[in-house]
A and B are shown apart, each in its own frame.
Chain A
Amino acid sequence: MNATTSPLLSCRDLTRRFGGLLALDRLSFDLFEGEILGLIGPNGSGKTTFFNVLTGLYKATAGEVEFAAQPITNLSPQEVYRAGISRTFQRSRLCLTLSLFDNIMIGNHKRLDHGPWANLVRRSLFRRQLEQSLAEARELLRVFDPELCERMDAPAAGISLIERRRIEICRALISRPRLLLLDEPSAGMTSDETTRLMDDILEVKRRFGRLTIILIEHQMSVIERCTGRCIALDYGRKVCEGTYATVATNPLVRQAYLGIS
């Protein structure tokens, strides 16, 4: 992280207002390629709002975002995805009636050929694309869950919570994004499952060395083990930034989380 490399993601005074509520208040920070950044803060502190503004689901009221030296402020979700940012959601957004493979392929949208020729006429061309995609999905899934590899044609409704999270992460990774946004992946999990999930995240990091990740988390153990740096939000404002040790001992953070004055 030397000063000469330019950041992968750079937010300047990013603000989002809902009527009288400032959900995101002049958030500024830089993120460098290969980092894992933790984003913490109590409920309603603006973490998910930040993801939604970044991915184009909400428009920013003010401020700017640059990604890979290109301005991406207020692009549509589709454009943000094509620029190389993909995400998971706090509440699973898998299509439950579709197969695991189909769900993963939804994340692969920009790399698939949607022309009528291969899809409708020359089916042998489509078959080749399909087989390549199957191989890619299988390879990705083997990292997380070798068991699911054999069940890629099963409906997503039939798998457990942690498996759904894994499929969601695969769906976000299959298009080879440069920035991965994980929105509270441990929500609703037992501590055992959370440990396995941390292993997953570190494994992703090991396999895709240059991948940059922003991780929203409530579980401090996850932040401690997985992230190099973290930012604490409260009422949409950045209250503290630094290593886990710095942030966890910061009096403002303790006040926001524990209500100790």
Chain B
Amino acid sequence: MEGRSGLVGRLAAIGLVAATMIGAIAFLSIESDRGILLLLLAISIGAFAAGRVGILRPLLQRALGHRATIGVSAWISTLVLCGVFREDHFSLFLIGRVILITLACLGLHLEFGAAGVVNFASAAFFGVGGYTAAVLSAHTRIPHLLVLVAGGVASALIGSLLLLPLLRTRGHYAALITIAFGLLFRTFVEVNDSLGGPQGLKLGGLQILRFQFNDELAVGPLHASFYFNYVLLASALLALAFVLVQRLEASWLGLALDAIRLDEIGAATFGFEIARWKILAFTLGNFLIGVAGALSAFMVGFLAPNNFTFPESLTLVSIVLLGGIGNPWGLALAAFLVVLLPEKLQILQEYRYLLYATLVILILRFRPSGLIPRPMRRYFGQPA
């Protein structure tokens, strides 16, 4: 019995990921606004109908028990996606951006979703990672793989300065502190000429073990855009982060973060050092955001203060809200929608922040638990 239901769950997991990938390919290939709108309409109707008939929920429930299967097939799907669009600079760039934003949101998810520490300055931490990478790669000969790590470390360190006031405040006040920090960071890089000032900074390409990421990849007759290299690296980092976050959640550490988020006083009477857990989540979260920012800087090749503003932070928060606070898989889906929708729908380009803001309000009002709500903790696939 175990074998059979296990197989069904596994197939359901693969099926769901494959369906998502096909949707993603369609989404990226369609050029016209009308096509995109029709596709979105078809997907929503399909999902709604499946939900109504009651297929989707049990299938999802079964599929979610097979985390490893979902993870592996999602990674393979990403590779397939890259393969399909290998010569298309723009699509690959967008895929890379979705992946890096998901990576950053995973960090935000640890802070916000797991430990309940608010952070409305995620774009600033993303920027810290980026600027660190720019400065280190321009002025030192530190290997670039270490530069990426340094981006994360710098972001975590600067975050730990913010921890001093954050640990002494709660709710709105803590939120305001992070917002203030975000504004401060932007102003700081804008007036700082050694960091390029308002014009920004350029970066050289990433180089790891003599491999130049900005060279086009060519294997026999197959050519690929140089973005292909970045997307591969980004997806490997994302996979690592996913494994880390999922293991963390399915362990005593995840339970501890839940305990301090849900009831600080109760947790304190059972021995939880509240500050210690908040520091862990905030530091690890900012590290992930910083690494994502550093790699993003190399991929884009350019940094400017305008990319790290409060509205950008709000975008990341809206992704976490839309995906479902506390659900990493929801994040990936939400990042895909929020990053790509304005790029593909020309009408939305100028109004993207309007879209995000509306999105936040609508989610909070109608579906506060997000697209894919937080699941019950399962330590090892199957329920305890």
Contacts and interface: CB of A to CB of B under 8 A. Distances in A.
B247 A123 contact: yes
Interface in A85-124: 86-87, 89, 93, 95, 97-99, 101-102, 105-107, 109-110, 112-114, 116, 119-120, 123
B176 interface: no
Interface centre among A77, A112, A120 (most CB of B within 10 A): A77
Shortest beta-carbon contacts, A-B, top 9: A119-B251, A93-B266, A81-B271, A95-B262, A153-B383, A77-B268, A109-B271, A153-B384, A112-B252
Contacts of A76: 268
Contact of B377 (A102, A113, A134): A102
Interface string B257-283: 011001101111111110000000000
A130 B379 contact: yes
Contacts of A97: 262, 374
A171 B376 contact: no
B380 interface: yes
A78 B265 contact: no
Contacts of A120: 244, 247-248, 251, 253
A105 B250 CA distance: 13
A152 interface: yes
A119 B247 contact: yes
B377 A109 contact: no
B269 A114 contact: no
Given A102-B377, A106-B266, 17 more contacts: A77-B271, A81-B270, A86-B269, A97-B262, A97-B374, A98-B376, A106-B255, A106-B270, A109-B270, A110-B271, A114-B253, A120-B244, A120-B247, A126-B251, A153-B384, A171-B270, A175-B270
B256 interface: yes
A109 B256 contact: yes
Contacts of A107: 270
A55 interface: yes
B288 to A, nearest CB: 14
Interface residues of B, number: 29
A101 to B, nearest CB: 5
Interface string A52-71: 00011100000000000000
A93 B271 contact: no
A210 interface: no
Contact of A78 (B248, B252, B272, B379): B272
Contacts of B266: 89, 93, 95, 106
A12 interface: no
Contacts of B383: 153
Given A112-B252, A120-B251, A102 B258 contact: yes
A34 interface: no
Nearest to B253: A119
A102 B251 CA distance: 10
Contact of A109 (B272, B376, B378, B384): B272
B200 to A, nearest CB: 37
A77 B269 contact: yes
Contacts of A113: 252
Nearest to A133: B252
Contacts of A116: 253
B273 A78 contact: yes
Contacts of B262: 95, 97-98
Contacts of B251: 119-120, 126
Interface centre among B258, B268, B270 (most CB of A within 10 A): B270
B376 A155 contact: yes
15 contacts: A55-B269, A56-B269, A81-B270, A98-B262, A99-B384, A102-B377, A106-B267, A106-B270, A106-B272, A114-B253, A119-B253, A120-B253, A127-B380, A153-B376, A155-B376
B244 A98 contact: no
A82 interface: yes
B221 to A, nearest CB: 42
Interface in B211-260: 244, 247-248, 251-253, 255-256, 258-259
